[in-house]
Amino acid sequence: MTTRRFSRAELESFRDAVVPDLLPREGTRLRLLFVGINPGLWTAATQAHFAHPGNRFYPALHRAGIITRPVDPAAGMSPEDREHLLGRGIGITNLVPRATARADELSAEELREGARRLRATVRRVAPAVVAVAGITAYRSAFGVRAAGAGRQPHPLEGAVLWVVPNPSGLNAHETVDSLARAYAAPAAEAGIPGLAGADAG
């Protein structure tokens, strides 16, 4: 799929737009729910999560073996890509549903409301593992100022909770390789097939 190009004005027109969650049909097992902070403008324009060409989310999933083929949603996600993710037991949601150019445009109250929204989503779809991508947003949303990255000591509505690095290209501390390592551990615990330690049952 060819990468689409957007002008700044086109992207700005998608500010505050909402991107639907990627969740399985009722009755289908959800192993791992990734939680972004909120959609970027490119994601809102294409209606595909983590879609900006500089985002490392899907390359890291592929490098880790969490998905078994490349996914490039920069021009929008194909039905085959969506089915591949869902078929692997992977869902995607956001703490805050509205799109902004940067996550730091969100208010503290929006993040706190996002935590309440996420709790409701987890109760409804019952993933085995939840992975929140962004330690600063997690601390603000859940009011856990001292939280560190990695597996958290308390579950979230019955799901094992991890906090993992944000894959945005703006996060210069991470690479595809370091993100792949960070994502592989919660994915293995969730039982994503083909990963070391995963339960394929």
The pTM of the full predicted model, rounded to 2 decimals, is 0.93
67-to-21, 148, 193 alpha-carbon distances in Å: 18, 26, 9
The one-letter code for the residue type at 172 is A
Residue 197 pLDDT class (50, 70, 90 cuts): low
Sign for the CA dihedral angle at 166, 82, 106, 161 comes to negative
Q: What is the mean pLDDT of residues 79-107?
A: 95
pLDDT at position 27: 75
Architecture of domain 30-190: 3-Layer(aba) Sandwich (3.40)
Residue 200 pLDDT class (50, 70, 90 cuts): very low
Give the whole-angstrom CA distance, residue 72 versus residue 58: 7
pLDDT at 34 over 70: yes
pLDDT tens digits, one per residue of 122-142: 999 999 999 999 999 999 999
pLDDT at 2 over 60: no
Domain ranges in the chain are: 30-190
